[in-house]
Amino acid sequence: MNILEKIKTNYSASMNEMTVAAYLEECRKDPKMYAKPAERILDAIGEPEMLDTRQDPKLSRIFSNKKIKIYPAFRDFYGMESTIEQIVSYFRHSAQGLEEKKQILYLMGPVGGGKSSLAEKLKHLMQQFPIYVLKAGEQISPVFESPLGLFADYADELEEEYGIPTRYIPGCMSPWASKRLREFDGDINRFKVVRLFPSIQEQIAISKTEPGDENNQDISTLVGKVDIRKLADYQQSDPDAYSYTGGLCLANQGLLEFVEMFKAPIKVLNPLLTATQEKNYKGTEPIGAIPFDGIILAHSNESEWAKFLNDKKNEAFLDRIYKVQVPYVLRVSEEIKIYEKLIRESSLKDAPCAPKTIELLAEFSVMSRLKEPENSSIYSKMRVYNGETLRETDPNAKSIQEYRDDAGINEGMQGISTRFAFKILSKVFNFDSEEIAASPVHLLYVLEQEVIKMMLPPETESKYLHLIKSVLASKYAEFISDEIQKAYIESYSSYGQNIFEKYVVYADHWMQNNDYRDPDSGEIFDRSILNEELEKIEKPAGIANPKDFRSEVTNFFLRHKANHGGRSPRWDSYEKIKNVIEKKIFTNTEDLLPVVSFNVKTNEEDEKKHRDFTRRMRDRGYTDKQIRILVDWFMRVRKTMA
């Protein structure tokens, strides 16, 4: 079936029609025929996958070895496990008939934090399962009401005869249905039931409301109003003279999204009180109560919430709010996934992106959102939040729980937004007029310029510029130094393996308090000499606790050999010792400068080495132009840091 046929088939299949009696018989067999919106959205979300974080060292540190739920429907919402679980809990409790069924789901968070994306996702999930709507003649109920509303006064009898629990029976029928029932002389069989799929496009059971001008906006945006064109044919109090175009009218049996809800005047919000508590609301005309059995989803930023919260007149409203905080992502690895997703969905997906570019941007974004820790660096805190352990490299680093306790519950509610970060990334990719590509050097420059343009408070601007110039630039200088040196040293891998195996032998003898005889030279190393040799390898990497480090690396080496038929592990298979050995290899950079620079070479040998160097840099993911830019930047930075 091609796409054109598929659309036609799906469209015709969505309009199935049946009698009320046939609908009730189906209800007897299938509870999904009268399922509440919360139940339908739960079905659309699906069963979660249980993730045992004990199986992953990073996740075990982040989630304290707990089992967490991963919902496939929200797989693209990175780093939002807690927020999503709270949202799903709201629907679960509402589906169970608990207090949440009478409350507004309110997402509160900073700009660009994902509130709107979550709302869009929930609306799309609401479209997956059909609703059953009353129909009279050729007209479908303008408020998409359930056929069960016809039995509002006979709920007990309906449960007894068809097994439909009374909590599923609406408290009233709409004025439109009431008028038709009178015209039919109470003959319910003259009504029909139509099967519809909620639709964002058609505004069937899904609607969106935004605050308007405070001076002229009224409750009609939610409850509808009289249609003056029909007053020639109907009285003003006639249900058929009413225009059911308000958000509550259109979102019955579905979902109403209220954007920036607390920017609307309280008089506009009042109909939400009765809609949530009594499941009906009054129109602007005397036409009787209109039923509402849907979900109200609202969102706004923290400042609007704080303003609304501090007004004592709003207490009744606040009691009907189920608040879910939507902070910025605080894990670099998850922030990177967001950028990669945004790039994949754009024309930049095939554009070259030099290593570390996205990671540096993610690190800046996350650090801007973190509360400055006491007696610890913000860079270390960022790494701990990412699930890393810094026991060997930063003795001042705290545990993730200590950082969280110190920061409080509002951490992540301020800082650089993901939206702003992606605009930065867009400018970086288009920085060079000759090449659409991204590099960390251009990123650092663009970031600095954009922070200055933002006209932030002096304290915030100073913090951000410090993160860019001092923290990120210095960390990147270390990284690109390693990259250049790895590309320069062709025999780097075998050299690293030799250092690794020698380190393990020395460390093993040192821990056993045994002398070591070098098999090649016959020289004997006592424990103090072994310690000196080990420190030559450890000191460039700043190992803070050498005794534990030596024991850990040696145990790793011996376990690997025991489990792999006596084969030694590769030196770069264990991240901790890999970093230490790389620091040892690259302590002296003097020899490589003439080769890696783009100056005219004095001899053919250096020219050949330079060509080999650029080839290996290309293999590592850099374009020719980026190689030149990065080498020039590295040499400038090296001079300033010398």
- Residues 503/537, Cβ–Cβ less than 8 Å: yes
Question: Rounded to an integer, what distance in angstroms lies between the CA atom of residue 368 and that of residue 382?
Answer: 10
Q: Quick one: average pLDDT of 381-409?
A: 90
Res. 214: pLDDT tops 70: no
| Side-chain-facing half-sphere of 465: CA atoms under 13 Å | 15
Which has more pLDDT, 514 or 123?
123
Give pLDDT, residue 375: 86
Say what the pLDDT of residue 247 is: 93
Mean pLDDT of the region 415-434: 92
pLDDT at 258 over 70: yes
Q: What's the rounded Cα separation, in Å, for the pair 404 and 381?
A: 10
What domains sit in the chain, N to C, each tagged with a CATH number?
Answer: 34-129+197-325 (3.40.50.300), 332-488 (no CATH), 493-589 (no CATH)
Mean pLDDT over 531-560 rounds to 87
Give me the sign of the Cα torsion angle 613, 616, 620, 622.
positive
Which range is least confidently modeled, 163-167, 484-488, 624-628? 484-488
**Residue 591 β-bridge partners:** none
Does the structure show a pLDDT above 80 at 251?
yes
Is the model's pLDDT at 21 over the cut of 90?
yes
| pLDDT band with cut points at 50, 70 and 90 for residue 295 | very high
Give the mean model confidence (pLDDT) for residues 255-263.
89
The pLDDT score that the predictor gives to residue 161 is 92
Residue 243, beta-bridge partner list? 225
Under the banding of pLDDT at 50, 70 and 90, the label for residue 289 is very high
The mean pLDDT value for 523-551 works out to 86
pTM of the model: 0.83
Q: How far apart are CA 127 and CA 124, in angstroms?
A: 5
DSSP 431-498: SSTT---B-HHHHHHHHHHHHHHTT--HHHHHHHHHIIIIIIHHHHHHHHHHHHHHHH-TTHHHHHHH
Express each pLDDT in 22-42 by its tens digit.
999 999 999 999 999 999 999
Average pLDDT of the residues of the chain: 89
Q: 352-361, 497-506, 617-626, 633-642: which has the minimum mean pLDDT?
A: 633-642
Most confident listed range (81-90, 275-284, 562-571): 81-90
Q: Give 154-204 pLDDT, tens digit per residue.
A: 999 999 999 999 999 998 999 999 999 999 999 999 999 999 999 999 999
Residue 426 pLDDT more than 60?
yes
- DSSP symbol at 199: B
Look at residue 226 and tell me whether its pLDDT is greater than 70.
Answer: yes
| CB burial of residue 642 (10 Å; 0-12, 13-18, 19+) | exposed
- pLDDT (tens digit, 9 = 90+) per residue, 556-590? 988 988 888 888 888 878 778 887 877 776 665 55
Dihedral through CA 278, CA 284, CA 287, CA 293, nearest 10?
-30
Proportion of the chain in helix, strand, coil states, percent, rounded to 5: 55, 10, 35
